[in-house]
Chain A
Amino acid sequence: MTALVEVKNLKKYFETPRGMLHAVDDVSFSIERGKTMGIVGESGCGKSTLGRVIIHLLDSTDGQIFFEGKDITHANPRQLRKLRENMKIIFQDPYSSLNPRLTVEETIKEPLIISKKYSAKAANDEAERLMNMVGIDQRLRLAYPHELDGGRRQRVGIARALALNPKFIVCDEPVSALDVSIQAQVLNLLQDLQDQFELTYMFVTHDLSVVRHISDDICVMYLGKLVETCESKELFKHPLHPYTQALISAVPTIDIHHKKERVILEGEITSPINPKPGCRFKKRCTYHTTQCNEPQHLEEVLPRHFVACCRVREINHI
């Protein structure tokens, strides 16, 4: 089975007044059809940027993107149109991701109308079907976003993303802004839809519990770099990269009886602007040595478990 989406050495730099900001730096991974790839990392590490570059909302600086085996890195406008029907995005903020001046129906119908594949009548029917699918009452067809609560808004965003039957959806923190009780509803919905339509997700989040729950595979990013990637269960069982370890240990747990060992990170965060080659985590890493000043590369440390750390074997006694 070939990967639905594959990126190779993908880079995205932003020009800023202070210099080149390396938002995504040399990232490679692939996602198989029907699977969910979780992307975790702290704020600003380039998760959203990665997702946006893949679906061509941003141009990549370097590297390649494959979709269904085809190199789509430099898709021409016609290909792009087609591509965008197959790749969609669901946003974090259910407030700013819906146009406040469009009704629920208009928002959901927009991609249908633009695609010109639907007659007015057909578009209405399709919108109705999508609304039913994501569980929004038909009576809300003409409601405006500000009349909806966050959960419902997020459902509208999902319905919009599902229009035209995409194959791949980037979910950019779709539940972070929602309350726990609602969060579970939306996560369940996403899972159901995936099962039903064999959707492929790239699930961006900083909430490790959520990513563990929903993902098949996980990429851990740190300041634009991919530092560790493997199957979801494997990652939580055997986190290898020091950053991943710190990350997992930092999650407060509701298990009040088993206090776990915390790795508290110290030290300042490296600036993503014109970063030096070498490990970007080293300033906060308890294990760093001069070796870490060399550029780090992803290595298959355990079977299908890739880590970008030159000392990973020493640290984990592999």
Chain B
Amino acid sequence: MGRYILKRLIWMIPVVLGVTILVFSIMYLIPGDPAKMMLSPEATPEEIAAKREELGLNEPYLVRLGKFLGGIVFRFDFGDSWVYNQPVTKELLNRFPRTLTIAVICIGLQIIIGIPLGIIAAVNQNGLGDRISMFIALFGISLPNFWIALMLILFFSVKLGWLPPFGIDGFKYYILPCIANAFPGIATQARQTRSSMLEVIRSDYITTARAKGMSELQILLKHALPNALLPVITIIGNGMGMLLAGTVVIESIFSIPGIGMYLVGGINSRDYNIVQSSVIFLALAFTFIMLLVDLAYAFIDPRIKAQFARKHKRGHHA
């Protein structure tokens, strides 16, 4: 198992490197001059040129890429933000926990709401429970998240005054953004759970369990659910990407200084280091979560675990 994890971690290198080069090239190609963005509109061409020189923007593509990669690899230094005039890494570490918190809470919501919805639907296939749960689920993916966010704010903050409408200053502040952001995830989760549950319910070992004399509830909890969870876990991993992307919008609506806002701000001001490093950070987080998902998968499914173990053994032979 350890070897497998190691191998997966090593596989992350080409992916993250690819992401780095890709995002670097995107920023290189994007029109918009960071020097101009930094200086006031009255700046003269000479001043702009001087700034470009200072920022190292006049060097050729490969030299810049090389320096950037070198910085990351040798010093774990993503460079300084031009707007914030500070090491990007520091700010990222500041902001990342907020984004991550939102993402994690969203995933939590997704699990504790989406999965039961899916189960209800599957158990009452084609019944009322199914219809209602699936309608809720479909609803969730049919509304833009910013719209949901604004509606939630109007209702819970303005009308009822229960929750703060923006900012980040304690647990209460996470509730609305997380709900707004979790909606599509909940929906996807519910649907996925339903279909994988339906598949499992039809399988032979469920009949076996029934033939043992177990009650439907026991069967559901002990046999059906654990098996149905497998494909559901994959969704959680994939949904992470969507969640992280969704936070860009959510953070801006709720004025949450997370990585999404940082990234969008970075794009707007052409602060290359911010953009590059945020994306790399997100990519790292994403690949890492995917790894965790795979491990969780293995944890639940002995068949997969066995595969890992085998690979492990083979490693010893070799």
Binding site for B on A (CB under 8 A): 17-19
Contacts and interface: CB of A to CB of B under 8 A. Distances in A.
A17 B317 contact: no
Given A17-B311, A17-B314, 7 more contacts: A17-B307, A17-B310, A18-B310, A18-B313, A18-B314, A19-B314, A19-B317
A40 to B, nearest CB: 29
A18 B310 CA distance: 7
Secondary structure call for the B interface: helix
Nearest to A18: B310
Contacts of B307: 17
A17 B317 CA distance: 11
9 contacts: A17-B307, A17-B310, A17-B311, A17-B314, A18-B310, A18-B313, A18-B314, A19-B314, A19-B317
Interface of B: 307, 310-311, 313-314, 317
Secondary structure call for the A interface: loop
Contacts of A18: 310, 313-314
Contacts of B317: 19
Nearest to B312: A17
A50 B187 CA distance: 50
Contacts of A19: 314, 317
A14 to B, nearest CB: 14
Nearest to A274: B317
Contacts of B311: 17
Nearest to B314: A17
A19 B314 CA distance: 8
A17 B313 CA distance: 9
Contacts of A17: 307, 310-311, 314
A17 B4 CA distance: 13
B132 to A, nearest CB: 34
A18 B317 CA distance: 9
A19 B317 CA distance: 9
Contacts of B314: 17-19
A47 to B, nearest CB: 25
